[in-house]
Structure 1
Amino acid sequence: MEDGFVFCHDVSPLVNALGCPYVPNDWRLFFDSSKQSLKCVLLHNGNKFSSIPIGHSVSLKERYDNMKIVLHKINYNQHNWVICGDLKIICILLGQQSGYTKYLCFLCLWDSRAKSEHYSRQSWPARTNLNVGDKNIIHEPLVDPLKILLPPLHIKLGLMKQFVRALDKEGNCLKYFTEKFYYLSDEKRKAGIFDGPQIRQLVRDDNFSNSMICKKKCAWNAFVNVMKNFLGKYEIPNYKILVNELIESYKNLGCNVSVKVHFLHSHIDYFPENLGAVSEEQGERFHQDIKTMETRYQGRWDVHMMADYCWCLKRDCIDVIHARMSQNGNLLLIQTNIFKLFIN
């Protein structure tokens, strides 16, 4: 622990000690932050093994200088993992200016303010460099842009947000949100700020789909098709047709083109083949797990908490016999493949 940052500077022995084979190309680095802490985690490509934390801090915030320190302490240059996270983290790592800037995309020179061209124009000049002072670049990039994975989960949330914002403010859909998600604030409901489980509830709810007509229902069905058949675990061969239908239906509904919609519209070929295998959603589940651990330690967020988390991973291996076995199960790590953590 240095300067309020708990980290592992020698990752390979840690992964091997947990019983996982370590090949750098088989892992991806996930960054996430909340109001309470900043976390960096190793996620296995294919999600065969559980998440392995390698950095945690309650004092470092999402800033360029802090991310530079984090990458140095975990020896990122030695491993060169691909990186996933939300677009704010990606923006910081690539040295881009934050906020609503003119050139938001790190792949091309998409003009975020030329709204009249957003739907009619699909091809934009490619970015040839990330030079400081050019096209909203204010810092030297900390990572190679080719090591960046587009975040399917956050793109899904962004699509949902644009859909909700285009709805009638007094329409049946927003009234349905008020009844179904009564525990959310009006600001969140009107802004379309929903998480993954809430969106899945709406997808399974036929009453919500039946509350819409014409353009709204067409856009919603297109969103569901893209979410299930492209942004999820499985990708069907004609996914590009589904994405084009989504873009067209959003245009008819009057949705704005955010940078997340732009990625689907102009950079569909940049996405990996299996988004479910490299999604940041597994990292979001870790975020919920470590939140429980942070509550348990009540402010003593140091190396002992991180060691305790790793020990929980070790104890969850059903093939290992311990002197004292828990009879209650581990409520801390509820993950689909947790019992496969140490199966080679």
Structure 2
Amino acid sequence: MFFGKGAKVSYFRSRESAFLPYFRSDSSFVYCHNIQGLLEELGIPIYNSIEWRMFIDSSKRILKCVLLYNSNLYGAVPIAHSVSLREEYGNIKRVIELLQYHKHNWIICVDLKMLCFLFGQQHGYTKYPCYLCMWDSRARDQHWVERNWPPRSDLKPGDPNILHETLVDREKIIFPHLHIKLGLMRQFFKALTTESNCFNYLVWAFLGLSIQKIKAGLFDGPQIRQLNKNERFSGSISELEENAWLSYKNLVKGFLGNARAENYIEIVLKLLESYRELGCNMSIKMQFLHNHFANSPENLAAVSDKQGERFHQDLKVMEERYQGRWDLQMLADYCWSIKRECPQLEHARKSYKRKFLP
């Protein structure tokens, strides 16, 4: 049998077949039922749940759950995916049960909205949003003064702002340092007046953003990094604004980064004082720094939620490739891709692509 010139031949690709036995599907919810076996298949022979953390988040239409290595040595390992489940208490409880969380007891790093579901709290702008103390979000006259709020001894249904039973232990929660940084930036920009030189410079520098978004502080990570390197922005701010801005940069480097400075307590207190003088409001994220920053681990960057947020972008390529067929094969194929990128492992088929040597 002969084929004409230009004929294309394709074959069924089954590279993900080795990972399929570790995943199951339950009503459009795909999850891993054998975590240890999946990690061994990925080339991680020794599994210790203490060395891993779980990240749960959702985009506009997809709920994802991923395992992250604490020192960020390994890539993100997807363990759950759904296009039908939304961020609701009943759905999150189902995820925790199917993944057998209480068998592993990973530490958890998620955003504050997900914390409300994990602790059965009423979400939104409530009076007692903190899961550690009875911080009153509406007592603004005491926010910058009071530090010893009554602690929450337990989280039981019927307590203030508690609707359901808790799903995880509070000791397993790590402060989301990425969301804390974004929250601090938002409070800084909200405190700016529209007549200030700093605000007018932001309008000129970010022509693609509306005045309402700039006033609300809706900046993403690349835009924030652009401001950190922009000397003209530093020259357009007043003395109070400059003190708050420099305190924020010192906090990111000396407390929320890879290495905690020896004077990190002084750095945190200086930031709080500069934000108070600027006229910023006390948000729930800033409240963690004001009252509970001593509970954070020494190296926040090693257990941050930044790697989990990055997983949204990494999986997006695989989701576009499967074009809506987001099932077991897609997660198994993604696991194959991260194993294929490991240079220490041997593969049956080598790449002969020309490389530039130094």
TM-score range normalised by the length of the shorter chain: over 0.9
Which residue of the other structure, out of 225, 232, 236, is the alignment partner of 1:207? 232
Distance 2:160 2:302 in 1: 33
State the shift of 1:288 in Å.
1.1
Which residue of the other structure, out of 37, 43, 51, is the alignment partner of 1:13? 37
Aligned pair 1:266/2:276, yes or no? no
State the shift of 1:281 in Å.
0.6
Q: Secondary structure at the match of 2:203?
A: helix
Aligned pair 1:128/2:157, yes or no? no
2:187 partner letter? Q
Distance 1:177 1:37 in 2: 33
What is the Cα-based RMSD across aligned positions, in Å?
Answer: 1.5
Aligned pair 1:45/2:66, yes or no? no
Judge conservation of contact 1:27–1:43 (CA < 8 Å) in 2: yes
State the shift of 1:200 in Å.
1.7
Q: Secondary structure at the match of 2:79?
A: strand
Query: CA 1:188 to 1:324, structure 2 compared with 1: closer, same or farther past 3 Å?
Result: farther
Distance 1:164 1:118 in 2: 19
Alignment of structure 1 residues 21-60 onto 2, 5 Å: 21-60=46-85
Alignment of structure 1 residues 56-205 onto 2, 5 Å: 56-205=81-230
Distance 1:328 1:64 in 2: 49
Percent identity over the alignment is 53
Query: CA 1:243 to 1:24, structure 2 compared with 1: closer, same or farther past 3 Å?
Result: same
Hey, what does 1:305 align to over in structure 2?
A: 330
Which residue of the other structure, out of 275, 290, 309, is the alignment partner of 1:250? 275
Which residue of the other structure, out of 294, 298, 302, is the alignment partner of 2:319? 294
Query: CA 1:120 to 1:7, structure 2 compared with 1: closer, same or farther past 3 Å?
Result: same
2:160 partner letter? K
2:37 partner letter? P
Gaps of 5+ in 1: 330-344
Distance 1:327 1:57 in 2: 37
State the shift of 1:173 in Å.
2.3
Hey, what does 1:338 align to over in structure 2?
A: none
Q: Secondary structure at the match of 2:64?
A: strand
Q: Secondary structure at the match of 2:80?
A: strand
1:254 partner letter? G
2:42 partner letter? L
Distance 2:199 2:322 in 1: 40
State the shift of 1:225 in Å.
0.5
State the shift of 1:184 in Å.
3.2
State the shift of 1:179 in Å.
3.0
Judge conservation of contact 1:95–1:142 (CA < 8 Å) in 2: yes
Judge conservation of contact 1:215–1:252 (CA < 8 Å) in 2: yes
2:153 partner letter? T
Q: Secondary structure at the match of 2:249?
A: helix
Distance 2:315 2:67 in 1: 14
1:11 partner letter? I
Which residue of the other structure, out of 287, 291, 307, is the alignment partner of 1:282? 307
1:14 partner letter? L
1:79-134 Cα distance to aligned partner (Å, 9 max, x none): 01011110000111001100000101100000000000000111111100111111
Distance 1:133 1:28 in 2: 30
1:83 partner letter? I
Gaps of 5+ in 2: 1-24
2:51 partner letter? D
User: What number of residue pairs does the alignment pair up?
Assistant: 329
State the shift of 1:327 in Å.
6.6
1:26 partner letter? E
Larger Rg: 2
Q: Secondary structure at the match of 1:131?
A: coil
Distance 1:328 1:191 in 2: 48
Range that drifts further, 97-106 or 283-292: 283-292
State the shift of 1:272 in Å.
0.6
Which residue of the other structure, out of 246, 252, 270, is the alignment partner of 1:227? 252
Range that drifts further, 69-78 or 13-22: 13-22
Range that drifts further, 1-10 or 169-178: 169-178
Judge conservation of contact 1:32–1:287 (CA < 8 Å) in 2: no
